[in-house]
A and B are shown apart, each in its own frame.
Chain A
Amino acid sequence: MDRKSICMAIGIAILGTVILFYSTDHFQAFTAEQARRIDVLTNTPSVPTVTFEDSKSETFTFSDFHGKYILATYIYTSCGDVCPVVEMNFQSIYSQLPANILGEQLQLLSISFDTVRDTSHHLEQHREMFQADGIHWRMVRVPDQQELDLLLEQSGVIVIPVGNEFEHNAAFYLINPEGQLIKIFDYNSPNQVVNELKQILSF
């Protein structure tokens, strides 16, 4: 083969590999979800100002939990697919947390993106089902659609309505006391979340 062609081939192979290497975060992230998780670790974006309404119709914002870590997840209560699994795992995390950590240093939030159907009545039923205390683990919705959209976009959650249901990506989101999103966990490994919390909060 001609020298020029060989040089071209080698050059293309190197360039191609380099482009793939960087566009997959060092061959680690092949999906947008994975990319988002890696990005959050270094960029730690601040969460937007959002007003929540919980199952007792009380309203509050992220800044009301200033000084505490927040562990959040996104769900809707009429979901029959992945949300029950997410909430079961959330319950498992909840039950493994010592009483002095919960409330003192950590707040749990299940955030519904189905603002229309998930009224405080439905959220209350949901709270009872998963035996949350409604104080340290609250079931909430975001009444303002614009605020909700901003929050979802910032967390990398894409919600697609399908008939009466929603398809959405599920995960656990850890927010630090300064209001920055610092880590996204797989929804299917609650023990990993607990271990990480043990390290951060030293219990």
Chain B
Amino acid sequence: MKRMIISLGLVLVLSIPPIRHGLEESMIGQMLIQIPLLALAGYILGIGLRKRMSPLLSRYNQYGIPGLLIVTFANIYWILPRSIDAALNHAFFETIKFITVPLLIGFPLALSWGRLHLTVKGFVWANVISMSFVMGWLYANSPIRLCNNYLTEQQLQLGNSFMLISVFLLISFFCKLFFVGMKNSQ
């Protein structure tokens, strides 16, 4: 119940017009702050409902694969420059964004991540790291403006941020593998 209120509260705060416009003013604000926070709201909701939905999940979301697929498709959709433009130009798509990002990215992620096999988790991380680098490189080096609503300058910043995140994740993984791995083997 408490988590449900936090989750709903987060979505409501993000939908307050000045906050919404403030974050959507820059590409980084939308792609790296607003959308992740919306996903976080869904994730918090999922954590809260995870136990109660357990019997259902064991049947329909065994090993978390169906849930992971939902997250993947929703992610692909919201990373397309076209969807971002649509959300900025049409209230309808903006509403869709505020509904689908929490419910189709954060929520199923919370219900699936714990169920995923270690190999699948590793596969997901490897993909997230490599894809965010590739996406970042594409955004930073695109000869054309990808979003009509944003400047090429912001596109470059977003691309660089994506690559930075990718490198950061890679390094943190190395650290985790080396240090945590060593502790376990001792």
Contact = CB atoms under 8 A, between A and B. Distances in A.
B127 interface: no
B60 A8 contact: yes
A111 B60 CA distance: 58
A100 B130 CA distance: 56
B82 A32 contact: yes
B148 A33 contact: yes
B76 interface: yes
Contact of A1 (B65, B73, B77, B152): B65
A8 B61 contact: yes
B94 interface: no
A31 B151 contact: no
A1 B62 contact: yes
B126 to A, nearest CB: 20
Task: Determine chain B's interface SS by DSSP, over half rule.
Answer: helix
Interface string B141-158: 000111111011000000
B23 to A, nearest CB: 17
Nearest to A187: B144
B83 A9 contact: no
Interface in A28-85: 29-35
Indicate the size class of the contact surface on chain B. 20 to 34
A99 interface: no
Interface string B35-60: 00000000000000000000000111
A160 B154 CA distance: 13
Given A20-B76, A20-B77, A23-B77, A31 B69 contact: no
Contact of B147 (A4, A13, A31): A31
B167 interface: no
Contacts of A19: 73, 77
Nearest to B108: A12
Given A29-B82, A30-B82, A31-B146, A16 B73 contact: yes
Contact of B82 (A12, A24, A160): A24
Nearest to A16: B73
B72 interface: yes
Contacts of B63: 1, 5
B151 A169 contact: no
B81 A30 contact: yes
Interface string B66-81: 1001101100110011
8 contacts: A4-B59, A4-B60, A5-B61, A5-B62, A16-B69, A23-B80, A24-B80, A35-B82
Given A20-B77, A30-B80, A162-B151, 19 more contacts: A1-B62, A1-B65, A2-B62, A5-B62, A5-B65, A8-B61, A9-B66, A9-B69, A12-B70, A13-B69, A16-B69, A17-B73, A19-B77, A23-B77, A30-B82, A31-B144, A31-B146, A32-B85, A167-B152
